[in-house]
Each structure stands twice: as C-alpha cells, then as structure tokens.
Chains A and B, each alone.
Chain A
Amino acid sequence: MTKPPPRPNRPVYLDNQATTRCDPRVLDAMLPWFSEHYGNPASAEHRMGKEAEAAVETARTQIAALIGADAREIVLTSGATESNNIAIKGAARHAKRMGDDRRRIVTVATEHKCVLESVADLAEEGFEPVVLPVRPDGLLDPESLREALQVPTLLVSIMAVNNEIGVIQDIPALAAITKDTGALFHTDLAQAVAKIPVDLTGWRVDLASVSGHKIYGPKGVGALFVRRRPRVRIAPLFSGGGQERGLRSGTLPTPLIVGLGEACRIAALEMAGETARIAALRDHLLTRVREGIPAIAINGSTGARIPGNLNLTFPATPAAAIMERIPDLCVSTGSACSSAEVEPSYVLRALGLSDDAAARTLRIGIGRFTSPADIEYAASALMAAQDPLPGTHPDGNPPPGDP
C-alpha cells in the first residue's frame, strides 16, 4: 500500500513481552561476580563464600523493595516459570499432605502456559482445576470468581498482567474476594513488575512470581514471594542442599541474582518516567498505524493495560506474512513459548477471536530501549506490509471471511 521504509541499520526489537535486552547497568553489576568473586554463597565458612552471600542478600532486599515485600519473603528461583510451578504445585501438595480436603484450584483461561500446565498436572494428582473465562476485553469478571469460590477452594492463581494482550487484572480486588473465602491467592507478576506499581504489603496476595529477563535483567533467574505473616507454607519442587530455607535447593547463581537485584533497583527509580515515555511511543505507533490501516482492531482493554503492549488484528494480512515481509522488525504472533506452534493463540480465542482473526494478529512490545525512530520504522513498515483490503485489489482476492 505504501512504500516500504529504508532498512534500519539494526533489527528493531519490539518484542519486549517475550524478553528484554539486559540493561547495560545490569551487565556492569553482574560482571565482577562472574569473573572475580566466584565463591559459592552457601560456603559461609570462608570469606569468598561470605562475600557472595552478602551480594545475594543485597539483591534480595532490592527485589523485595520493588514489590513491597520483606527480604525474608523472597525465594530465589531460575525464573517465573519455576516460581509459578513451585507456588501452584507446592501450595496444593503441601495442603494435601497436611490433610486439607479442599481440592479446587481456580485459574483463568488467559494465564501463561506454565500456570495452566501446572494446574493440569495437579488434576492428575486428584485436584479439581477450574479455568475461568474472561470477558472480551480480557479482564476477569469478579462475579465469575465469586461463583467458582462457592465450592471450597484451595488456591486461586491469576496473573497481574497478560503476556499477550497486556491487560491488567485488578489483583487487589480479586485477591480480597479470594482471601475472604479462605483460599490462597497466587499471582504471576512476570509481566507486571517494573511496569505497574506492585505492593504486596497492601495486597492480600500469598504467593507471587517474578522474572528477571522480562525486566531488563538476565535470563535464568526469578523470584517467588512467599508471605510470612500469616506464613504461607508450600512444598518444594526439589530439595538437597537446603538453600532458600529449604524451599528451593541448588547453588544460587550469584551474578544472575545480583543482576536481578540491579534490575529491580533501576525499575524502582525509573518506572514512573519510563512508563510515561513508553506510553507516548505506544500511542504514537497506534495513531500512525490507524491512519494507514483504519480497519485495524486492538485486542484487550485499552484502559487497564500496561503502556508497552499493543495487540493488533490486521484487516486482511496474515501476521506470519507481515513478519516475513519485515525481517528487520522483531514482533510476535503470540507468546514466545508457543510462537513456534501453528496453533492460534489460546489467549485470543479466550477473548472470542476467530482462528482466522487470531492468525492476523501481532503482539508488539515496546520497552526501555525503544526509540522514536524505531516506532517510525515500525509504523511505516507495518503499513507497507499490508495486503490490499478486499474489494480494493484488482486481482479480486476473496474476502477473508471474518466478520
């Protein structure tokens, strides 16, 4: 439709919900812990172990500060997937072991795959998963949660921010509804931390998962918040050396933990300004693309949404074709984990999109290192990559058949 823009001198990365560039300040903070200070933080008998242990504890404090927790409530893990697995399986298995006869575990259809699979794994252990639908805007209707909780429930797991459509669930309200029934509440904060304010002291959340590489930290590290007062008890996924108070054994990767701490420190300082800047870039991109492609649809609530996310259904062109036509633009057709699959996104299906519309949908994730020039390039390239709309093309392509 329009002339393609000149190729950028490097790929334009707009997939910041899949993973983020490691912040150079995070790299600088980590490097000495890779090279010079290689003690095992569990080797508290000698000074090289002690200095690693001290660095881990500093990072733990930084992580806790960003989410309004106490450092003693932070269990370090290999990432949010592991944190979600420990929280969900650990809470359910511990309760069962203690003779709790509640079996219901409630979650939402748009959760990350690792939450849905953890819940499904528990079905094989005699638990009763209930997967709630969402409204067309991607938000959970609190009434459907209330209804599900009429059966005595062990655990509710609801993500704070969706990884594909960026919508923000009202976690304080949903947690309150859950806690009033006596169930435990877990939230996956992987896409929320450093994007929206999180206050686990004020929120009635028992368990919460944090990722390093979604917040400009390294891959291979995350955290699980486990409330201390009242104390939440969970069974570990694996044991051994007894690290992390027995909740998560295994040598702590000091450099990665230092990196996660630094990423949290930076986010606490810069989130407010960064959020405003990213929102302006996102709004500009949407305005530009809408000018060129008026029939574009945006999926998910536009009000309750993190600033960095757009999820757009194009009127005629398959998302895969757009991506092929713009090799210099890194965007995605769904979550990264499942993006190699041919299956349409289950998140978009849960919103009521047809498979055909889902196949014409791109996720665009704007982040800390996105420049105005990146946005200009993306807008021009996305417009240039569109097929002509049905009825406007001389060769008369059949209409895409989706209302």
Chain B
Amino acid sequence: MFPHYLDANASEPIRPAALTATQQTLRVIGNPSSVHGAGRAARGVLEDAREALAALYGTAPRNLIFTSGGTESDTLAIHALGAARRVIAASIEHDAIRAAAPDAEHLPVDRHGVADLEALERMLRDGPPSLVCLMLANNETGVIQPVAAAAELCRGHGALLHTDAVQAAGRIRLSLAALGAHSLAISSHKLGGPAGAGALLLAPDADIATPLISGGGQERGRRGGTPPVAIIAGFAAAATAARSDLGTSSAANALAALRDRAEGAAVAEGAIVCGGGAPRLANTTCLALPGFRADAQVIALDLEGIAVSAGAACSSGKVRTSHVLTAMGLGALAGEAIRVSLPWNTAPADIDAFAAAYARMAARLRAARAVPPLDPTGAAHRLTPD
C-alpha cells in the first residue's frame, strides 16, 4: 500500500514540471563555468533558472546565490551578515539558524507562535548593531511571522534582517523587496523541486565579504563549487509552478479546505491545534493530543499508512520536545504534538484516510492507557480559539 503522505514540510513531492526540467537537464553534459558550447548550454540553463527565481522572489539575478539548500543558505546569511553584529533570533527558528548563531539572543513569541515585535523594538532600541533572524513561516506550526513589520523596525534601528522563507516559499506569495528584508533563504525540495539546491537572496544593500564555501569563483565568488544545474532547473520549474498555483485561488483554497477538514477531524478526537489562532500556511496543522507522546502517535499513524512527523524532521529519527511549542508556552503539549503538512498534490482521499486513522489511533491509545475520552468537540481544550 502506498502511504498517504502528509509530511510535505519535511519534503514536498516533486512537481511534474520540476521532474521534467531535472530529467532533461541531467542529460546536459557541460560544466557551467566552461567556455565551450557544452559549458555555455549548461550556463544558459543555470542563468535562466536564476532569472526565474530572482523574479519570483523579488531580487536582481546577481543577488541570488545558489547553495546546497536551506541550511547552507541560513548559515551563509548569518556568517556574512552577522559578522561583528549581535544576533537576535526568534525562539521558534529552525535548527539551522539556532546552530549557526548559538549565542543569539532570543526574540520571544506569543501563545499563538507569533514573534513579539514590541519586545524586538525594546531589544533594538538600546542594543549594539544587530542581525535579526525571523522566519517567514514556521516549519512545525505553519504560523506566518510579521517579517515586513520586523524589517521596518530593523531598518529604523540600523539592524539587518534575515528571513528563513524555506517553508513559506511556494506556499504564500512573497518578495524580498516587498518584505524589506536584507536576505532570504529558500530551498528547492520544500517547494516541489528536487533536493540538493537552495538559494540565498540578498537585498541591494547586503553583500557577502567572505564565503562559507570558498572555491573556483562560482556565484561571483560568494559560493564555490560546480552548481548542480539539473537540480537548479527543477528548483526554478517547481517555484514557477507553485506560484502559478497560488495565482489560481482555487488551488490554494482547496488545500486550505483539506487541511481544515483534517484538523477538524483531529479536534473532534480531542486534539488541540497549536498556533491555530494565528495566520498560517494553508497546508500545515500542528495537532497535540494531550497525554500521548508524539512518537507514539506518529508510529501508530505510520502503521495505518499515514506519513506525518513529530515536530521537525531532523536527524536519525530522534523525537524531542519541540522548542517551537515550548516557546509558545505549551508546556507538556510540546512533546505531544504531531505535524500534519499537506503536499501540493493532496487528494480528498488522503484526508479521509487521515481522519479515520486518527480516530482509530486516539481510541487505541486511550484504550491502552484507559484514559477517559475527552470532550468530543475538543472545544474546551483548544488553546487558540480565536
């Protein structure tokens, strides 16, 4: 049986246009740095992709640097923009940011998972020159952050702002220029392209003095190494297809409706929606089932043929208490939440299967524990009714 894949925030299934572009380009021989015909052909593909992505995400092609993915892009941003600056990172940032800036000061979030901009202003008001890291959409809850407002605050206080848009790209319309951020990270496989490429977009007033990966002068000396042209071609094709889906409100609304249906089914079994009171990505819901460990829920659902995750998919399957949910003040629930993230090609049957499996899972876990059933509407347990 093929699983019902509801773990898009770990990796989106590849979009058909991306698969075609990648397959075609894998057969292109040249190294884009070579001057002969084969090299020029590869370079043409690379630069077309750069132009397409730069146009979609609001920067000039020369200010888009291809990397190996989101983690490298985030690290490069902090390495380049954070040098000699205090780093302030939202307490819900991805581990890539947390690891690249281990000494960062934490910007708190409210109980809905939204960054506290009043706190940010206080931190910026009297502090040294800063780099602020605020992700555009959270990977666990899907909560969308007020990045444009934060960037405006930063610019008012001489601070720089980096936004990790890895989960947002392909799921909401976004533009570096419109956000007013100094840098923005995106990843191919999180928007329906193949894994193995990402990009860091820079505003005209930001630059990289020392690369993270030095090398043969590729990417204008800002990232060494032969770029993976076929992966990058798929990246651009996926981003273009994703934007086109966002342009037709029916596709975006359909995904939100499916997500809401999955969420409703879980809430009926007693689940609590983490971050449900804030604006969110249409594809994501974070569902805590009080009293039951997240890993037990994920394993039970996997046995039912439903692929979801407990918080972020990171290393070697270790399930931890979510730092994101802890930062939202959810206490014990932070170890009891699963992430359900719908891929672009989710079918209603996937949601039917999820709803039935979730109900069976909740019943089985409760029977095993002999915990009395919760209020079936779940309303009493919903932390985020607004």
Contacts and interface: CB of A to CB of B under 8 A. Distances in A.
Contact of A19 (B5, B13, B31, B315): B31
A242 B314 contact: yes
B274 interface: no
B34 interface: yes
Contacts of A77: 68
Contact of B74 (A112, A213, A240): A240
A341 interface: yes
Given A34-B19, A237-B212, A238-B75, A218 B68 contact: no
Nearest to A52: B11
Interface string B197-209: 1000000000000
Contacts of B302: 45-47
Contacts of B312: 241
**Which secondary structure dominates chain A's binding surface?**
loop
Nearest to A77: B68
A255 interface: yes
Contacts of A218: 26, 228, 230-231
Contacts of A85: 212-215, 224
A27 B313 CA distance: 28
Given A15-B34, A22-B26, A219-B229, A39 B307 contact: yes
Contacts of A117: 214-215, 224
A340 B39 CA distance: 11
A85 B224 CA distance: 9
A27 to B, nearest CB: 6
B230 A219 contact: yes
A134 interface: no
Interface string A17-43: 011111000010011001100111011
Interface in B65-115: 68-72, 74-75, 94-100
B278 to A, nearest CB: 24
Interface stretch (B117-125, B188-196, B372-380): B188-196
Contacts of A13: 29, 38
B3 interface: yes
B140 interface: no
Contacts of A397: none
A49 B37 contact: no
Main secondary structure of the interface of B (DSSP, over half): loop
B214 A45 contact: no
Interface in B322-360: none
Interface stretch (A102-110, A148-156, A196-204, A329-337): A329-337
A179 interface: no
A275 interface: no
Interface residues of B, number: 77
A318 interface: no
Contacts of B100: 238-240
B210 interface: yes
A278 interface: no
Interface stretch (A59-67, A245-253, A295-303, A349-357): A245-253
Given A47-B302, A240-B94, A336-B39, A22 B99 contact: no
A295 B103 CA distance: 63
A256 B228 contact: yes
A92 to B, nearest CB: 13
A197 B74 CA distance: 38
Contacts of B34: 15, 18-19, 330, 332, 336, 339
A253 B7 CA distance: 16
Contact of A45 (B35, B37, B68, B310): B310
A112 B216 contact: yes
B228 A78 contact: yes
A114 B7 contact: no
A330 to B, nearest CB: 4
Contact of A121 (B22, B189, B214): B214
B36 A45 contact: no
A49 to B, nearest CB: 7
Contact of B225 (A11, A44, A79, A121): A79
B307 A238 contact: no
A86 B338 CA distance: 35
A330 B36 contact: yes
Name the residue in B5, B69, B100, B298 with the highest tally of chain A Cβ atoms < 10 Å from its Cβ: B69
B35 A332 contact: yes
A47 B316 CA distance: 13
Contacts of A207: none
Nearest to B234: A34
Contacts of B70: 250-251
A254 B195 contact: yes
Given A22-B26, A27-B26, A220-B68, A330 B38 contact: yes
A113 interface: yes
B23 interface: yes
B183 interface: no
A44 to B, nearest CB: 3
A49 B10 contact: yes
A57 to B, nearest CB: 12
A43 B224 contact: no
B196 A253 contact: yes
B189 A251 contact: yes
Given A44-B317, A240-B74, A337 B218 contact: yes
Contacts of A251: 11, 69-71, 187, 189, 195
A323 interface: yes
Most buried by A among B31, B94, B97: B31
Interface string A179-223: 000000000000000000000000000000000010000111100
A243 interface: yes
Given A27-B27, A239-B100, A45 B295 contact: yes
Nearest to A11: B37
Contact of A238 (B212, B309, B319): B212
A256 B22 CA distance: 12
Interface of B: 3, 5, 7, 10-14, 19, 22-23, 26-27, 29-31, 33-39, 68-72, 74-75, 94-100, 187, 189, 194-197, 210, 212-218, 224-231, 234, 295, 298-299, 301-302, 306-310, 312-317, 319
30 contacts: A15-B39, A18-B30, A18-B34, A19-B34, A38-B13, A38-B14, A39-B5, A39-B7, A40-B195, A42-B10, A48-B3, A48-B7, A78-B72, A78-B228, A79-B228, A84-B215, A113-B217, A117-B214, A117-B215, A124-B210, A218-B26, A221-B196, A237-B212, A238-B72, A253-B195, A255-B195, A256-B196, A256-B231, A328-B37, A330-B37
Given A13-B38, A38-B5, A333-B35, 20 more contacts: A11-B36, A19-B34, A40-B313, A79-B228, A81-B215, A112-B215, A120-B214, A240-B314, A241-B95, A241-B315, A249-B95, A250-B68, A250-B71, A251-B70, A251-B71, A327-B36, A330-B38, A336-B39, A336-B226, A337-B218
